[in-house]
Amino acid sequence: MSIQISTTATAVAAGRPRRRSLAGWAQNGGASTLAFAMPLLLVFGVFSWLPIINSVVMSFQKTNLVKPPTFVGWSNFTYVLSDPLLWTAIQNTAYFAVLALVIGYPVPLIAAVLMSEVRRFRGLFSALAYLPVVVPPVVSVLLWKFFYDASPTGVFNTMLGWIGLGPFPWIQDADWAMPSLVLAATWAGAGGAIIIYLAALTSVPTELYEAAEMDGAGVLRRIWHITLPQLRGVLLITLILQFIATAQVFLEPYLFTGGGPAYATTTVLLLIYNYAFANSLGGNYGAATALSVMLAVVLALFSLLYFRLTRSWSDE
């Protein structure tokens, strides 16, 4: 760390060592420093640190809006863990994550590797790829919901009809619903990953390609043996980030299908929402926080991994 500005300035201005009294502290700018810290302290204190603590406390309490909360031990956790819907939700969330991995993970990588060889209008390529990311998620879901119209004149069914396929039920069928959601989510998110990969691709040392070319490696082998290994760090990061994001998927199941048909798209986050907010008479806040805390512990481990990876690479 470099010089501490405030101390230096005080020493220059006052020409004597710092006083330890409260009045001296205030005179040396301590009070105004605290005033500058207030917005951060208040906003983070009330809207971040306090709810984080509360969530842990509430997961051991029975909370309703009428009576003061009472401690109930682990019963919220046992309630959640014995809810048959929880296992459905975990399965659905895992299914979403796996589908997103199979469909959504390779697409941006392939697109970025191809785009990195583009020599003209590359800005146009990346702008087109990123456009869906800036569309508000609610709009893209509602628009895709219309595209998924199951009748033969639905947008996708019309297009597939041109090559003799369909009509498909899309989000109205329990088997089709989840892949449809993942497809829409991939469309909405791929641009972000493409931009990350494109940036990483520019930092692959060109000498490696030259050396491989001298050794007679063709373009595909260069991509397989140089490009992809050079990207492995970024690939791991996007993998972790994608996992963290898919574990919290909410908007798509909530707006596309409401968790249906037959609970086929009820995810963990949708279950938390339903515990707390679906019942208009007052939610089961204890169960909701217990489940969020359990989910958070799992996700925090992944965040920690992510943080350590990015930290160690930026130190290099």
Q: Which of residues 211-240 bind another protein (CB under 8 A)?
A: 213, 219, 222-223, 226-227, 233-234, 237-238
Residue from 72, 94, 133, 150 binding another protein (CB under 8 A): 133
Binding mask 93-132 for another protein (x = CB under 8 A): ------------------x-xxxxxxx-xxxxxxxxxxxx
For another protein, which is the closer residue by CB, 97 or 129?
129
C-alpha to C-alpha distance for 311 and 316, rounded to whole angstroms: 9
Site for another protein in 146-165 (CB under 8 A): 146-147, 153-155, 158-159
Q: Which stretch binds another protein (CB under 8 A): 8-16, 70-78, 84-92, 173-181?
A: 8-16
Site for another protein in 76-95 (CB under 8 A): none
Strand partners for 62: 70
Residue from 200, 243, 266, 274 binding another protein (CB under 8 A): 200
Binding mask 242-281 for another protein (x = CB under 8 A): --xx--x-xx---x-------------x--xx--xx----
Listed residue (261, 259, 262) closest to 251, CA to CA: 259
> b or e along 53-82 (b: 16 or more beta carbons within 10 Å of the residue's beta carbon)?
eebeebbbbbbeeeeeeeebeeebbebbee
CB atoms within 10 A of CB 212: 16
- According to DSSP, residue 171 is labeled G
C-alpha to C-alpha distance for 114 and 107, rounded to whole angstroms: 11
